[in-house]
Structure 1
Amino acid sequence: MACRLGCGACCIAPSISSPIPGMPNGKAAGERCIQLDDNNLCKLFGDESRPKVCSDFSATIDVCGTTNEQALYLITELEQMT
């Protein structure tokens, strides 16, 4: 499945332990990534400084559901379970 432009759930819900430009210690679950713009688009998309964990993320129906709201809920649930 293709990532929904402007969703941003994967840049908000999960914790990221690897450094992100502007966030050298990564980010906590539920914290908005500093690299997520006002349109919920990654400012680092296609840039080599984008963390590997971000570029390796693959949008799937079981993780992202069918709406942005479902994606935020599902990714938050997965984060809490791990």
Structure 2
Amino acid sequence: MDVQNKINTVGKKVYTGQVVSDKMDKTIVVLVETKTLHPLYKKYVNTSKRVKAHDETNQAGVGDTVRVIEARKVSKHKAWRLLEIVERAK
């Protein structure tokens, strides 16, 4: 992560997930999976969400593990941007 990205990450949500689609131009769909504790049953429940992220250079591919960060709305459904690629798909 370079200095510019570190400055912009203050106070913003950062998710890590897998790219499930890269078919759109400059857009990737990232599947973010989390485990949350159910308040009544005290059992961990797996939850997942798909977020659309802005990928300016189209560098992320399907299967890559990426980190995305909150950003201003780029379009109707796209409010995240690609921060870094953690691991490339094999």
Shorter-chain TM range is under 0.3
More strand by share: 2
More helix by share: 1
From the CA coordinates, give the structure whose radius of gyration is larger: 2
If the length of structure 1 is used for normalisation, what is the TM-score? Answer: 0.24
- Higher RCO, 1 or 2 (CA under 8 Å, sep at least 6)? 1
If the length of structure 2 is used for normalisation, what is the TM-score? Answer: 0.23
